[in-house]
Chains A and B, each alone.
Chain A
Amino acid sequence: MRRILSSITDGKGFDLIMVGMTMLFLFALAGVPLVYNVVMSFQQVDMFNLNTFSRPFAGFENYVAIVSQPEFWLVIRNTAIFVFGSIAGQFIFGFALAIFFMLSFPFASTIRGLFLVSWVMPGLVVGALWGWILAGDFGVLNAILRGLGIIDGTMFWKSDPNLSIWAVTIANIWLGLAFNMMLLSVGLAGIPRDLYEAAELDGANGWQRFTTITLPMMRSTIGAVLALGLIYTLQQFDLFPAITEGGPANSSNVAQYWAWQWSFQLFDFAKGATVSMMMLIFVLVASIVYVRSTRHEVRG
């Protein structure tokens, strides 16, 4: 009896309780909704059987129906542009800014802190803001571009099917830039100065120092930033209703917004669940790649 007790307070039992509690929370808050979503994607769901479990079984009908939608491939293409465009933009500009702010000049850290303003703003506010900036006939961006002589006419960022997905991507890059910069700054600050000094003595130029010291030393930070970028980008929803509503003609519609449209505009909850299941598979593949690519690292 005492052995069991002591095991619970300080031993294997304690570990098991800790792990068990976490698992319980994970199961209740992530597992159950996930399973529920999977079940829904194989059923016919409408609002009048929403609160019961005994709904007609649909097999793969929902999946077939989603894939055969005329806009399916357009949505996939847009999701790919949005995800990779956002991650690339956020990462490249974030890295550049992080390196820039490593230079010591007056107010460097204050200005860097101010960048976080974009990150703390709610997505809907950012969306409304960019909605005005990107407006066609009276937008600020067009006025600036015209003033600089880059364009003549009017760029209809929100209404031109060739531009609309880029309009949302630009807004999302701005939104995620500060977060990327902050994480990368932390990584940069962790690299010992003397490595650079030694390399400089050996005659390495700036580019060589960047590729042979900064990048390898930042490997795990970069991996984390990219993985988080993927997650945040796939979660990004607020910008879409605020800027383009997925339009025109679905030219800026992405999977996460499409899933919402199915469920809450067309009231076809099963198809909404189906789209989110497809997204889940994509995220799963991406996270397997991420885990495998960082596996060989020894972590303390």
Chain B
Amino acid sequence: MQFAKRGLLAGLALGALVAAVPAQAQDEVTITVWSIDGANQVGPSDTFSKEFDEMDNGINVEYRILQFDEIVNETLRAFATGNAPDIVSLDNPDFALFSSRGAFLDITDMAAESDVINPEVYFEGPLNSVSWDGRLYGVGKYTDTIGVFYNKDMFAEAGIENPPQTWAEFEEYARKLAKPDQGLYGATLSARGNEEGTFQFLPVIQMSGGGYENVNTEGAREWLSMVKGMIDDGVLSQDVLSLGQWDSTGTFNSGNAAMAISGPWEIDRMVEDADFDWGVTLLPTFGEGDERSSALGGFNLGIMSTTEHPEEAFKVLEYFVSQDDRLFPEFGYLPTRSDVELPLSGIEKKDAALAVFQEQLQYAQPRGPHPEWQKISKAIYDAEQAALTGQMTPDEALSQAQKTIDTILN
């Protein structure tokens, strides 16, 4: 009995001690950060969160990894139930879904005071994707875009000197290089029925004078007919309709396609896998010297408006931004701003490719921003697929998409 009492007392004392610890640390603020970095490989957000957490500055950072397919849903649900994180990192076309409804914190004034975050140094595309109604709701984390990879050995063998600069050349070379009987395709791209399809098709609409509000351009119709013809003749694999960019470019790496439309995320794997000489060129245009365009990919960072500690969250954001010069050397990502020098890697093909993608980035245009981007995007990739499978003519497909988009926009 005596023993039990003593045990009880000891337990109470221990309990009080445990209770006292958080009381002492009351000044400590915890900021939660959600991102997909760390899901497949180490990325910037998980690394920087950990570093900031280890600093002795009264702010703890709790980091949570989410999968790419889940992060929007999960953030929605958390926001709806009042458990949103303080900082979240979203794919750039998904950002407006939140910023347009005031779910992201307006950081325009905080950025104006900040020594670290200066909106003026950001590329226009990424900056547009974090802006809504002239206010700033976040910063670009990293960015990417698309261009044309080409197999230099095959080009030399076929006697083609330069990579294609116009879509007409793209088709001409692809037809020349394709050997359907040997399973060799002239080119590969991704016209998959999801965001990836829109990612690669929207630039074509944009460079022919359109945009997501106006998709039925002459150039877009021409391009769809061209690609359809190439699929029908076995110059492109029909599987471009179901392959994502990563798998599609895999066929290029294994020497089964002479050209591939894809982005800088392929470079490291290509250096490893491709046992031929390759290069990158800008996305073709319709005529020589015509308007250029390309897709704008990459993630943004924003502070959720429900945060209880906006100032501390902003400090975390500032720290992330202050580490932008490490994005490329450590993680292979391109920063969204023009004032960060990218060090050369010493790998000749990689550095050459990088230079092209940096130039291409100047022409990259964001998707949206629009709060119902997902529906607009579906109209665009549905139209592309309907035209490429021959279910509709390019004109029918694009006017149907236009009709859908008009209902969404009005």
* A interface residues (Cβ-Cβ under 8 A, vs B): 47-48, 50-51, 70-71, 135-137, 154, 156, 158-161, 244-251, 264-268
B375 contacts A47, C-beta separation under 8 Å? no
Q: Which residues of A contact B375 (CB under 8 A)?
A: 266, 268
Partner of A249, one of B76, B194, B391: B391
In the bound complex, how far is the Cα of B273 from the Cα of A163, in angstroms? 32
Q: A47-B80, A48-B80, A268-B375 are in contact. Are A247 and B241 (CB under 8 A)?
A: yes
Report if B73 contacts A (CB, 8 A).
yes
In the bound complex, how far is the Cα of B391 from the Cα of A160, in angstroms? 11
Within 8 A of A (CB), among B237-293: 237-242, 251, 256
Q: Which residues of B contact A156 (CB under 8 A)?
A: 237-239, 241
B386 contacts A249, C-beta separation under 8 Å? yes
Q: Which residues of A contact B389 (CB under 8 A)?
A: 160-161, 248-249, 251
Q: Given A137-B237, A159-B241, list of 15 further CB < 8 A pairs? A: A48-B103, A50-B77, A51-B81, A158-B239, A159-B242, A160-B238, A247-B193, A247-B242, A247-B385, A249-B241, A249-B382, A249-B385, A265-B374, A266-B374, A267-B72
How many whole Å from A66's CB to the nearest CB in chain B?
A: 14
Q: Which residues of B contact A48 (CB under 8 A)?
A: 79-80, 101, 103
Partner of B76, one of A154, A245, A266, A267: A267
Q: Which residues of B contact A51 (CB under 8 A)?
A: 80-81
Q: State the main secondary structure of chain B at its contact with A.
A: helix
How many whole Å from A247's CB to the nearest CB in chain B?
A: 4
Partner of A161, one of B80, B194, B237, B391: B391
Report if B313 contacts A (CB, 8 A).
no
In the bound complex, how far is the Cα of B80 from the Cα of A51, in angstroms? 6
A246 contacts B193, C-beta separation under 8 Å? yes
Count chain A CB atoms within 10 A of each CB in B72, B194, B239, B242 and give the residue with the most: B242
Residue of A nearest to B195 (CB): A265
Partner of A137, one of B72, B81, B256, B388: B256
* B interface residues (Cβ-Cβ under 8 A, vs A): 72-73, 76-77, 79-81, 97, 101, 103, 183, 192-194, 237-242, 251, 256, 374-375, 378, 382, 385-386, 388-391, 400
Q: A246-B193, A266-B375, A268-B375 are in contact. Are A135 and B239 (CB under 8 A)?
A: yes
Residue pairs across A and B with Cβ atoms less than 8 A apart, 11 shown, are A47-B76, A136-B238, A156-B241, A159-B240, A159-B241, A161-B390, A247-B242, A248-B389, A249-B382, A249-B391, A251-B389
Q: Which residues of B contact A267 (CB under 8 A)?
A: 72, 76, 97, 374
Partner of B382, one of A136, A160, A250, A265: A250
In the bound complex, how far is the Cα of B76 from the Cα of A71, in angstroms? 27
Residue of B nearest to A71 (CB): B382
Residue of A nearest to B72 (CB): A267
A158 contacts B242, C-beta separation under 8 Å? yes
Partner of A245, one of B80, B103, B193: B193
Q: Which residues of A contact B386 (CB under 8 A)?
A: 249
In the bound complex, how far is the Cα of B381 from the Cα of A71, in angstroms? 13
A47 contacts B242, C-beta separation under 8 Å? no
Q: Which residues of B contact A268 (CB under 8 A)?
A: 375
Partner of A159, one of B101, B103, B238: B238
Q: Which residues of B contact A136 (CB under 8 A)?
A: 237-239
Residue of A nearest to B240 (CB): A159
Q: Which residues of A contact B76 (CB under 8 A)?
A: 47, 50, 267
B239 contacts A264, C-beta separation under 8 Å? no
How many whole Å from A117's CB to the nearest CB in chain B?
A: 27
Q: A47-B79, A137-B251 are in contact. Are A266 and B378 (CB under 8 A)?
A: yes
In the bound complex, how far is the Cα of B385 from the Cα of A245, in angstroms? 13
In the bound complex, how far is the Cα of B242 from the Cα of A156, in angstroms? 10
Count chain B CB atoms within 10 A of each CB in A47, A50, A136 and give the residue with the most: A47
Q: Which residues of B contact A250 (CB under 8 A)?
A: 193, 382, 385
